[in-house]
Chain A
Amino acid sequence: MGQEKAAVEAQMILRRRLCNPSFIFSIFSQSPDSNYSKLKYIISSSVTEASNNSVLLLGPRGCGKTAVLDLVLEELVEEHAEMVTVIKLNGLLHSDDNCALKEIARQLCLENQLLFSKMASFDDNSLFLLSMLRECGLAHKTIIFVLDEFDLFAQGKQRLLYSLLDAMQSVTSQAVVVGVSCRLDADQLLEKRVRSRFSHRKLLFLPSSREDLQRVLEHVLLLPTDSRLPQDYTATFNAKLLKLLADDKFKEIIDTLSYSDSTVGHLVRFLFHAVSHMNLNSGGFLSLEIFKAALPSLQRQPKLEGLKDCSILELYILVCMKRLEVKELESINFNSIMKEYKSVHDTFRTSDYYARKVCLRAFEHLIECALISFEDNKGHGQSVEFRPVKLLITWHELYQGLKSYNFCPSILHRLMDREGVSAV
Chain B
Amino acid sequence: MSKEESPQINRRTTRSSYSNTPNSKTTAEDSKTTINQAQSLSINDFVYGDESKTLDELINSFPRRRTQILQLISLLGPLNSPMIPLFIYGGASTGKTSVILQMFKHLNRPFIYCSCVTCYSPRILFESILNQLFLHRKNVSNGYVSAKRCEKPSDFVNLLREALSTFVGSLKGNLGKSSSKKLSSPVNGIMVYLIFDNFELVRDWDKSATMLPFLFNLYDILKMPEVGLIFVSKTSPDTFQSDPGYAEPFPVYFPDYTEDDLRQIFMKNQANPKLYSSFLEYVSQFKRFKLFVYFLFILNRAVLGHFCRTTRRIDELSTAFSPLFKKYCEPLGDLGTVPSGDMKRELFKHLQPFISPCMNETFNVTSQSFCKASAYKDRTKRNSIAKKLGIESSDDFDLHMSTSAKYLLISAFLASRNPATLDASLFDSTGGPDARKRKRKSTEKSKEKKETKEQELLLKGPGTFPLERLLAIFQCIADYSPDGEEMQDGGLLYEDCDTGLMSDILLQLSSLCNANFISKGASCPLEGSIRYRSTVSEDIALKVARSLKFPLSKYLYR
Q: How far is the CA of A81 from the CA of B237 in the complex (A)?
A: 43
- Is the C-beta of B364 less than 8 angstroms from some C-beta in chain A? yes
- Is the C-beta of A33 less than 8 angstroms from some C-beta in chain B? no
Which stretch from B101-109, B120-128, B250-258, B488-496 is at the chain A interface? B250-258
Chain A residues with Cβ under 8 A from B237's Cβ?
300, 302
CB atoms of B361 and A368 under 8 A apart: no
Q: Which residue of chain A has the shortest Cβ distance to B240 in the bound complex? A: A370
A352-B81 contact in complex given A61-B245, A61-B246, C-beta closer than 8 Å: no
**Bitwise interface map of B from 230 to 267 toward A, beta carbon under 8 Å scored 1, else 0:** 00001111110000111110111101101100000000
- Is the C-beta of B458 less than 8 angstroms from some C-beta in chain A? yes
A12-B78 contact in complex given A313-B309, A352-B309, A354-B360, C-beta closer than 8 Å: yes
Q: How far is the CB of B346 from chain A (nearest CB, A)?
A: 28
- Is the C-beta of A90 less than 8 angstroms from some C-beta in chain B? yes
CB atoms of B251 and A12 under 8 A apart: no
Chain B residues with Cβ under 8 A from A330's Cβ?
459
CB atoms of A381 and B520 under 8 A apart: yes
Q: Which residue of chain A has the shortest Cβ distance to B212 in the bound complex? A: A92
Q: Kindly state the interface size class of chain B when it binds its partner.
A: 35 or more
CB atoms of B248 and A309 under 8 A apart: no
CB atoms of A15 and B82 under 8 A apart: yes
**Bitwise interface map of B from 461 to 491 toward A, beta carbon under 8 Å scored 1, else 0:** 1100000000000000000000000000000
List residues of A (173-214) whose CB comes within 8 Å of B's CBs: 182-183
Q: Which residue of chain B has the shortest Cβ distance to A17 in the bound complex? A: B82
CB atoms of A309 and B236 under 8 A apart: no
A99-B236 contact in complex given A149-B244, A357-B363, A358-B363, C-beta closer than 8 Å: no
- Is the C-beta of A62 less than 8 angstroms from some C-beta in chain B? yes
Residue among B234, B252, B363 having the largest count of chain A Cβ atoms under 10 Å: B363
**Bitwise interface map of A from 251 to 290 toward B, beta carbon under 8 Å scored 1, else 0:** 0000000000000010011001100110110000000000
Say which residue of A297, A302, A382 sits within 8 Å of B238 (CB atoms): A302
Q: How far is the CA of A119 from the CA of B460 in the complex (A)?
A: 54
CB atoms of B459 and A335 under 8 A apart: yes
Q: Which residue of chain B has the shortest Cβ distance to A361 in the bound complex? A: B363
List residues of A (5-28) whose CB comes within 8 Å of B's CBs: 8, 11-12, 15-16, 18-20
- Is the C-beta of B308 less than 8 angstroms from some C-beta in chain A? yes
CB atoms of A11 and B78 under 8 A apart: yes
- Is the C-beta of A365 less than 8 angstroms from some C-beta in chain B? yes
List residues of A (192-246) whose CB comes within 8 Å of B's CBs: none
Q: How far is the CB of B86 from chain A (nearest CB, A)?
A: 10
The majority secondary structure among interface residues of chain B is mixed
Q: How far is the CB of A271 from chain B (nearest CB, A)?
A: 10
CB atoms of B239 and A62 under 8 A apart: no
**Bitwise interface map of A from 346 to 358 toward B, beta carbon under 8 Å scored 1, else 0:** 0000001011011
Q: Which residue of chain B has the shortest Cβ distance to A118 in the bound complex? A: B155
Number of A-B contacts (CB under 8 A): 173
CB atoms of B253 and A336 under 8 A apart: no
- Is the C-beta of B347 less than 8 angstroms from some C-beta in chain A? no
Residue among B246, B256, B308, B359 having the largest count of chain A Cβ atoms under 10 Å: B256
Chain A residues with Cβ under 8 A from B221's Cβ?
90, 92-93
Q: How far is the CB of B6 from chain A (nearest CB, A)?
A: 20
Q: How far is the CB of A227 from chain B (nearest CB, A)?
A: 15
Residue among B80, B154, B245 having the largest count of chain A Cβ atoms under 10 Å: B154
- Is the C-beta of B440 less than 8 angstroms from some C-beta in chain A? no
- Is the C-beta of A339 less than 8 angstroms from some C-beta in chain B? yes
Residue among B157, B217, B459, B520 having the largest count of chain A Cβ atoms under 10 Å: B459
Q: How far is the CB of A381 from chain B (nearest CB, A)?
A: 4
A interface residues (Cβ-Cβ under 8 A, vs B): 8, 11-12, 15-16, 18-20, 61-62, 66, 90, 92-96, 99, 103, 106, 149, 151-152, 182-183, 265, 268-269, 272-273, 276-277, 279-280, 297-298, 300, 302-303, 305-306, 308-309, 311-313, 330-331, 333, 335-336, 339, 352, 354-355, 357-358, 361-362, 365, 368-370, 381-383, 385-386, 388, 406-407
Of the A-B pairs whose beta carbons lie under 8 Å apart in the complex, a sample of 16, sorted by A's number, is A61-B246, A61-B247, A66-B220, A93-B221, A99-B152, A149-B244, A273-B75, A300-B236, A300-B251, A305-B255, A308-B256, A311-B308, A331-B459, A335-B461, A381-B535, A386-B461
In addition to A15-B83, A300-B253, A381-B533, 8 A-B residue pairs with Cβ atoms within 8 Å of each other are A12-B77, A149-B244, A273-B250, A309-B312, A311-B310, A354-B310, A361-B362, A381-B520
